[in-house]
Each structure stands twice: as structure tokens, then as C-alpha cells.
Amino acid sequence: MNQTSSTPMPLRRSIAVNQLGYPAEAAKSFVYAGPGGEFEIVDTSSEEVVYRSTTGPSHWDEASGATVCRGDFGDLRTPGTYRVSLNGQSSAAFVIDSNPYTDLQQGLLKAFYYLRCGMELEEPFAGPWKHHACHTSEGIVYDDPSLRLDSCGGWHDAGDYGKYTGPGAKAVTDLLLAYEGNPGAFQRSIPLPESDDRMPDVLHECRYELEWLFKMQDPRTGGAFHKLTTKQFPPLDVMPEDDRAALYFLPVSATATACLAGVMAFAARVYRPFDDAFATRCLQAAERAWAWLDRTPPHPDGPGFKNPSDVGTGEYGDASDLDERYWAAAELYRTTGDANYHEAFRELAALPFAKYELGWTNMSGYGTIAYLLGAEASAHTDADLRATLQQGLLAEAERLALRCAEDGYLTSMRPEDYIWGSNMLLMNNAMLFLIARRLGGEERYRELALEHIHYLLGRNVLDISYVSGFGDRPVNHLHYRPSVADDVEAAVPGLVSGGPNRNLNDDYMQEHLQGLPPAQCFVDHELSYAGNEVTIYWNSPAVFAVSQFVK
């Protein structure tokens, strides 16, 4: 059910459900912030009680700061629209359906279209969120101001209008992995301006970003510029086409270069059946980036990229580039079968850094995934290394599973995980569960991933959907410049909010959220950039997770 601009947000309820609904054959539960007891499931069309049971025992949940209990109703599989009734209170209405997340998946993916830079978003595709083309001027190369390059295209990274190589590579990779893992979920047109009957829209959307990433490869060296931004962020109420400050290609970094190599090598495989010339171009870019890395010593402990003194946009600094190199080597080996890339991967795998992370600060998990998935089709991988990495990934999934058993809302989030971008951690963990299941892990990992989707869509202590436009209490006042400036009451739909942040890293949070438990450290307000901003790499793992439950 989509929230419209004229629909007032209901008051927060103590009974938290996934406000969209539950797959008919899956486990189903709600969480109640209270002492529990007998509950009823009511059919909203007939007002008849169709299911009765009793909640489990109550217990204190540290992250939410509440005494909670859970009510299970997995036996109810009849399609319909329902609500939970308990102790005189009611939940949001929700559906039970064989395929309840098709619109959600489409919305999460369509959000990338709204984030496009450099083209007019026309009303037939953008609706009321249309706007003129933006940021079409050439960019200035920061360390050689006499050099100007085409900078047009790609996705705005977040609530600002910057564009960043590493985060863009993560987002594209999540989407390509989602398509690779369940291509049938992407057969329906969004639609996009490029939609045709030949290539799925997810690949059209990724290509829009990949075409821009080509422009981030320094034509002089083959390294990748770290980012393309103005020197300072524009005010919050500025539409993208009105942001006319000079754009700068900020200096090449090893992390950005390795990310470009990794995502381009992956793209070369995925696009080969659809566009051979484009796939070849992707592989050439990847190999040229690797050549730059090959002649540039790694920096395992810094210094990584730092903003120049006159630049105040997002830094995305990263002290170590070992994880990004590890990922790049794995993707290049999987794509080409070249023994040199295999040897580079083996050497990097022997070094002491985490191998299962999926965030922009540590991209190692993508290297592990590429190697393990590639091993399914190759007889030339290192069997011992493959076994070690697979055992490690499954052990990581089991570690997260143990956390789920302890959490009041059934997620893998600990109190200390509610940081800036906590919903990215949430969805990254859901991704890891689903990858672990694909690589031979237990079936319950799939169910645990679904519990994370339930949290995102409202089964949380705040009874809020963290996806704009979806659910009956969705975020709507995002820290996102177009939604602040466009005079449209409803936020751009399908955007994932950053989520609760116990560190209260912005002034608005510090003023309004002092003393709250970690999972309650959130406010749906445009000034809360450390809690209510959006980014491409918060949406992308959500697309991955949700798409694996779409038929």
C-alpha cells in the first residue's frame, strides 16, 4: 500500500508488522512492545477473526529499549488483507500473498532513475518529481585545472549531488548480483526511457551509471578519479538543475581505481549476452585500471584519499585498499580466467583483513562472493582457498544468525550497530544471509534475511517504514534536496532512509533524541542528515534482498 501526500501518518502503534505484508508460505510474526497475551488476526474486508493464538513470553530488548514479545501466525496462508488485534490495540493492515513484494522491488529500483544526473526527468517517467537536466557542464580536473572532461551522467550519490566512484561501484554490483541471483524477478518493465523487449530494465539502469564510471577513468593514467563534486554542498532547498557551481574531478585514488576494475569486470560478464561491444569496453576499462594498480603499491594502513583543504563534500576516505584490490582481482579472474589475476587474488587473500564485508569502506565480501560463485563454473580455482572462504562466509552467516535469536525484532543488529547508515548494515546482512544460502548454507538463512525486510518495512520499535511511499507510516521528510525543493508534498518514492543512529551525528538529532535507546534514535525530518538521508548504496542491498523474494 502506497502512502499518498494527502494521507496523514497514523500514530505510532505498539504492534509492529511488515506494513506491506508477508509471503504466504513464509514464517510470519509481529512484535508487540508490551506484556503480550492472546491475539487475533482479523480479515479487514469482513472484520471476521480468522486466526487466534498467544504471544510468546516477554523479554527486555536492549536495542529498542522496550519489553517485547512476538506473535507467530505462520499457519495463516490464505491470501487477503489483515490486521493484528491484541490488548485492545490494532496493527497496521498488511497482506498475505504469494508474491507481495513486486511493487516494492519495482519502487526500490525505480529510485535509481530519480537519482539520475545529467538528463531531464520527464513527467511520463518521473510523474510529479520531474525536473530539468542538471550538471551537464564539463568538470575541472582538480590537479590539472587546464584539463576539462565530460562529467555528465550517473546517479547522484545521496541527498546531495555528488557522484563517487566507490559507492557507485558498490551500488551497481548489488544490482548486478540481484539480477544474477534471480533474473526472473526483473522481467517486468519499470518502465524507463530505455525500456525495450530485449534487456531487463535493471541492466539499463546500471548501464546509466557504468557509462558515467567510464568517464571517471583518468585518460592520462587509467586510474579512477575518487569523486566528481562541487567544492561545497549546495543549500538544502536547491533543485539539481539550479546547482551550477563548478564541478571537479577529485584526485585518483587506489580504492576508487580498484572499485572501477571490480565493477567493470563484473559488468563485462553480465552484459556480454546483450551487447558484446559494451561488454568488451567494460573489460578493457577493468584491465586498464588493474594495470594502474599493478604499478602502484598498496596502502594497507593509509594514507587513503583525503579531501583537499578547499573541498567539503563527502570524502569517502578509506585507509586500506587491500579489500578493493582483492575484489578487483577476483572479478577479473572470474571474467577472464587469467592465471595472473588468480595469483594476485591468492596473494591478497593471504593478508590479514576481513573477507566478508559488503560496505563501501570494505568491499572484500564482493571478492569472496565472486571467487566462490566463479568456482562453481571453473575447475582451476584453489580448492583449499575456496573451502576456507566458503567456511568463513558460512561462519559469518551463523554469527549473524545467533544475533537474530537474541534480538527482540529478529534482526542481526546489535545496539552498537545503530550508527549512521544502520539500514545499510541491516540490508548488507540480509544480502550475506542470501548469498550464504546460495553457497550451500542452511535454508533458515533465507528466512532470516526476510526478517530484515520485515524490520525495514515497519516491524521495528518505531512502527515506521524506512522506504518512502511504501507502508502506512513511511518516511516522508527525507534529507534529500529534490524532495525538499520540489514543492511536492510526497517524497520521491522507493528511497531507503539511513535509519536509527545512536551517535546522533547531526544537530537535529542531538536536539531531539538525547537519551533514547539505539533503535529509537531516528526522526523523519529533512534536517537529520545523519539519520534520514538516502544513498544509492542503501537502496541497492534492499533491491538485492527484496528481489530474492519476488517470483
Question: Which residues carry out catalysis?
Answer: 524, 533
Cell numbers 561501484 label which residue? 169
C-alpha gyration radius of the chain = 23
> Which residue, among 308, 425, 309, has the nearest Cα to 360 in the 3D structure?
425
Q: What are phi and psi of 367, to 5 degrees?
A: -65, -45
As beta bridge partners, residue 83 has 42
Grid coordinates belonging to 355: 573477507
> Which residue, among 19, 16, 31, has the nearest Cα to 404 in the 3D structure?
31
Q: What are phi and psi of 68, to 5 degrees?
A: -130, 160
As beta bridge partners, residue 225 has 252
In angstroms, the CA 480 to CA 217 distance is 28
Grid coordinates belonging to 512: 531531539
Q: Which residues contact 255 (CB under 8 A, 6 or more apart)?
A: 166, 226, 304, 305, 318, 321, 324
Is residue 408 within 8 Å of 66, Cβ to Cβ?
Answer: yes
> Which residue, among 93, 116, 110, has the nearest Cα to 493 in the 3D structure?
110
Q: β-pairing, 248-249 with 139-141?
A: parallel
In angstroms, the CA 31 to CA 24 distance is 18
Q: State how far the alpha carbon of 217 is from the alpha carbons of 154, 261, 369, in Å.
A: 14, 10, 25
DSSP per position, 229-296:
E-SSPPPTT--GGG--SPPEEPPEEHHHHHHHHHHHHHHHHHHTTT-HHHHHHHHHHHHHHHHHHHTS
Cell numbers 487477503 label which residue? 80
